[in-house]
A and B are shown apart, each in its own frame.
Chain A
Amino acid sequence: MAYELLDVENGDVLASYSTLEEARTSLITWVGKHPRTADHTAIAVVDASGHAVDTIPASAVRETGSSGREQ
């Protein structure tokens, strides 16, 4: 699996990580620094065929605790 930081407006991939934790930390930092991006940024969980099998909106990723998804 790969974990993309995704701009859901047009599917632009901002960055890609090998773990959910890295992506989660990056998203929290990104939204903290650029609050206006919060409503259109998500983490996409991407399988080996390049398809997103899950997307986690920024609103579901909290500063503490997990995103609610298993890694």
Chain B
Amino acid sequence: MRAVRRGLRRAAERARRFAAVGLSGDSLVAVPASGQVLYRLVWRVPARERDFMSQMEKGRPPHKDSPAIYWTGVSMFRERSQAVSRASGKGSAVAQVTLRPEEGFHLAKTLNEGHYTVWGLPGRLLANCTIV
């Protein structure tokens, strides 16, 4: 119940901030990367370019319950443990990705706690990752 209230407070605060600049409450703001470090599951080691392809780039269908813009980016997490907790146990590993500003990456805080959607060329994301 406390978590629900906290979520509602956050949503209300976000809506207020968006409204202040003329945006609707469900707006998504993607910002240029500035050196953030995030974590992503990779299917095997060494990681491949495919590990950094979006659902769209993998030829997977978009999901009707999510904005299409999520389909064009990849999921990453603020903490390694958040990525690990979603691993399937089939030999997957975790990559630490440094989102260097010069690479043209963008990111937005989306969905649940610690979840980010990241946009960037898969080859460049791969080049900026380390298995941890």
Contact = CB atoms under 8 A, between A and B. Distances in A.
B113 A49 contact: yes
* B: contact size bracket: 35 or more
From DSSP, what is the main secondary structure of chain B's interface residues?
loop
A48 B3 contact: yes
Interface in A1-50: 1-2, 4-17, 26, 30, 33-34, 37, 40, 42, 44, 46-50
B43 interface: yes
Nearest to A11: B41
Interface residues of A, number: 34
Interface of A: 1-2, 4-17, 26, 30, 33-34, 37, 40, 42, 44, 46-53, 55, 57
Interface of B: 2-3, 6, 40-43, 51-52, 54-55, 60-61, 63, 65-66, 70, 74-75, 77-79, 81-83, 85-88, 90, 92, 111-115
